[in-house]
Amino acid sequence: MTERDSVAASVTLDEALALTRLPEEELLRRADAVREAAFGRRISLCAIINARSGNCGMDCAFCSQSRRSTTAIPVFPMLDAESLRERILRLAELPVCHIGIVTSGGALQDEELAVVGQVLQSLPEPVRARVCGSLGRLPQASLERLSGWGLRRFHHNLETASTRYAAICTTQTWDQRRATILRARSAGLSTCTGGIFGLGESWEDRCRFALELAALHADNVPVNFLYPHPGTPLADQPPLEAGEALRIIAVLRCLLPQATLRICGGRPTTLGARQTEIFRAGANALMTGDYLTTCGNGAAQDLRMIADAGFEVVQP
């Protein structure tokens, strides 16, 4: 049994909730020590490509790409193979270990999947090894095709705790999301699965979610914070305070001691001047550059932040 399995098996919800009641400095001190033991002072970067935007039939309450949202965002179909390949190669010039192809919608159609396959097979192997796919609820056969084309990692968020999920999305169940993750693993792909915080969930929801991730043996966990897009059902949801966001990261680190915690969407707006504290709170990775429909920090800015904090970037 690994340490991660042990945490999933032995930590109770009450014990997890006890972490949330610690003073901020004590909680961050614990999280920092766990991160240091597991990952030292090395920080991994990733970046993403919005390869198909908007017009999504899902009704996720936080998402500006939902067809039910009225948020003013770019809407476009699947990028052609040449454009997608060019964007991957451009990102490959940066010190990012993972380059994510992200598409809106429930799942890619076969002809769109073929574009991804064409691009993957055209890439030099060192670049192809860095490409990930966030391509929706794909069936087993499609995931196996991706694996055969050289994709190494598949991203599919669970979003929030199973007990909270129905309040956020009704067009897909939490169990369906979990099943996609298990299919990807069965196809030989590593997986990246996390969620979004600041949806109005309680600390109990957050701790339950962390324990569900642990039980799923999640070893790559993206952590997003709500950006309340105008035109979405959560437009009026108050953004998290920076201190609460840091506490969320720290609790996740304590409950997922061996997992890569990657801070992604909402980082600049939620954390602001306290972004440099994410590492002290237990994060060992982050997404650099822009997100799907909002702006992020540029790579140069993030590299300076990491160096100024006394950390080093993992090279691809």
End-to-end CA distance of the chain: 30
How far apart CA 41 and CA 310 sit, in angstroms, is: 8
Task: Give pLDDT tens digits for 115-150.
Answer: 999 999 999 999 999 999 999 999 999 999 999 999
Reported pTM: 0.93
Grouping H, G, I as helix, E, B as strand and the rest as coil, residue 72 is coil
In the predicted structure, residue 7 carries a pLDDT above the cut 70: no
Q: What pLDDT, on a 0 to 100 scale, did the predictor assign at position 290?
A: 61
Q: Are the C-beta atoms of 234 and 199 separated by less than 8 Å?
A: yes
How confident is the model at residue 73, as a pLDDT? 73
At 14, which amino acid appears? D
Task: Band the pLDDT of 152: cuts 50, 70, 90.
Answer: very high
Distance between CA atoms of residues 265 and 109, nearest Å: 26
Residue in 120, 128, 137, 114 with CA at minimum distance from that of residue 58: 137
Q: Is the pLDDT of residue 9 over 90?
A: no
Please give the Cα distance from 45 to 62 (Å, whole number).
25
What is the residue whose two structure tokens read 């992200």?
Answer: 102
pLDDT at residue 155, as a whole number: 96
Buried b vs exposed e over 173-184: b needs ≥16 C-beta within 10 Å? ebeebbebbebb
Residue 10, Cβ neighbours under 10 Å: how many?
A: 10
Contact 125, 149 (CB under 8 A): no
Q: What is the pLDDT of residue 53?
A: 79
Q: Does position 2 have pLDDT exceeding 50, yes or no? A: no
Q: Residue 140: left if φ>0, alpha if ψ -120 to 50, beta else—which one?
A: alpha
Strands (E), the chain: 42-52, 98-103, 131-134, 153-155, 190-192, 195-197, 220-225, 260-263, 285-287, 312-313
Residues 212 and 8: beta-carbon distance below 8 Å: no
Report which residue type is found at 210.
A
| pLDDT value at residue 3 | 42
User: How do strand 190-192 and strand 195-197 relate by DSSP bridges?
Assistant: unpaired
Whether 294 shows a pLDDT value over 70: the answer reads no
Q: What is the mean pLDDT of the chain?
A: 91
Each residue's pLDDT tens digit, 58-116 = 888 888 877 787 777 788 889 999 999 999 999 999 999 999 999 988 888 899 999 99
Alpha-carbon distance of 171 to 187, in angstroms, equals: 25
8 A C-beta contact, residue 26 and residue 46: no
Residue 168 to residue 163: CA distance in whole angstroms: 11
